[in-house]
Amino acid sequence: MGKIIVIGSSNTDMVVKTGRLPAPGETVIGGEFLMNPGGKGANQAVAAARLGGDVRFVAKVGNDLFGKQAVQGFRRDGIDTSPIFTDPQAASGVALISVDEKGENCIVVAPGANARLTAEEVSQALENAGAGDTVLIQLEIPLGTVEAAVRLCAKKGIGVILNPAPAQPLPDDLFPRLAILVPNETEAGLLTGIPVTDAATAEAAARQLAAKGVGHVVITLGAKGAYSFDGQQGQLIEAPHVHAVDTTAAGDCFSGALAVAVSEGQDLPAAIDFACRAAALSVTRMGAQASLPYRKEL
């Protein structure tokens, strides 16, 4: 089994519940306050580790309490944190989240150290990585760092899984260097201009992305499951029916699980089924990292 090297963000989510969201310039007195570890990179690293992956996490935090707490949490999940850099010039990433009674939210992210993870640091972290390892990466770090990481992996023969979240346009030369691209409906829509809502529109979007050179496209479709396209053939892999209570981090759980199954050498349909089962379990529980399942629960 190869290593899973997750390259991405680590944040502390600061959540305050409120009767209603404030208007610009207004102060409202809120309710309960919660502080949770988050960030797409961190969530995906934790998901992969809990599901049995041999995980290294490449990230950057500030020299502060939030960063230290985050790293301690990763270690408790058995993640190799040796490639986490500490930047004395920056604060660790935070997300300030207000949630009203209807579940509507307002989020401001201060990326802090995440925005300062460089191509050189990623290259250093990948020094001992090689074919047989799997790199899993998202877009909450600078795009230039993502591009450099993908190029380096292509040179070393390392398979890259890219979860292109949050949605943003990508340079054309990135696509042929990806083993698997895992967008959700919004991201697939932004990358192709096709509004993706079901298996038929996912197929059209996946064909377009495959034509740009991606090895395999997997579009997540929420409760409908995931659409898989290998360049020739496509299929919808249905999600198990569950009672969903909180879908936060469902996409992160899916990507982390997919990386585990791929690193174990499972074929793509089996790997996607594994990812659907893990993500379905995560939506039955509240929270982001708190909802991520362990292998024995599947």
Annotated binding site for substrate: 11-13, 39-43, 140, 252
Nearer to ligand ATP by Cβ, of 92 and 184: the residue is 184
Q: Can the peptide bond before residue 183 be classed as cis, meaning omega within 30 degrees of 0? A: no
Nearer to ligand ATP by Cβ, of 126 and 254: the residue is 254
Nearer to ligand ATP by Cβ, of 48 and 239: the residue is 239
Nearer to ligand ATP by Cβ, of 146 and 253: the residue is 253
Residues in Cβ contact with 92 at an 8 Å cutoff, skipping those fewer than 6 apart: 10, 11, 12, 61, 62, 64, 66, 67, 70, 112, 113
Residue 107 CB: number of other CB atoms within 10 A?
11
Catalytic one of 77, 133, 252, 273: 252
- Does 22 bind ligand ATP (CB under 6 A)? Our answer is no
Q: Cα separation of 9 and 139, whole Å?
A: 8
Nearer to ligand ATP by Cβ, of 92 and 289: the residue is 289
Place of tokens 């993908």: 150
Ranked by CB distance to ligand ATP, the top (closest) residue is 251
Q: Binding site: what residues are annotated? A: 11-13, 39-43, 140, 184, 220-225, 246, 248, 251-252, 282, 285, 287, 291
- Does 239 bind ligand ATP (CB under 6 A)? Our answer is yes
The angle at the Cα of 194, spanning 189 to 197, to the nearest 5 degrees, equals 70
Smallest gap from Cβ 217 to ligand ATP, in A, equals 13
**Residue 230 annotated as catalytic:** no
Of all helices (H) and strands (E), which one includes residue 16? strand 11-17
Q: Binding site for ATP: what residues are annotated? A: 184, 220-225, 251-252
Place of tokens 């989240």: 97
- Does 280 bind ligand ATP (CB under 6 A)? Our answer is yes
Position among 191, 205, 276, 292 found at the interface with ligand ATP (CB under 6 A): 276
The angle at the Cα of 44, spanning 268 to 52, to the nearest 5 degrees, equals 65
Region class of 157: left (phi > 0), else alpha (psi between -120 and 50), else beta: left
Q: Cα separation of 28 and 230, whole Å?
A: 50
* Token reading at 67: 């960063």
Position among 71, 117, 249, 259 found at the interface with ligand ATP (CB under 6 A): 249
| Contact track, ligand ATP, 140-179, x by CB under 6 A | ----------------------------------------
Position among 279, 287, 291, 293 found at the interface with ligand ATP (CB under 6 A): 279
Q: Binding site for K(+): what residues are annotated? A: 246, 248, 282, 285, 287, 291
Residues in Cβ contact with 120 at an 8 Å cutoff, skipping those fewer than 6 apart: none
Position among 66, 74, 229, 254 found at the interface with ligand ATP (CB under 6 A): 254
Residue 189 CB: number of other CB atoms within 10 A?
19
Amino acid, single-letter form, for residue 243: H
- Residues at the interface with ligand ATP (CB under 6 A): 184, 220-223, 225-226, 239, 242, 244, 247-252, 254, 276, 279-280, 283
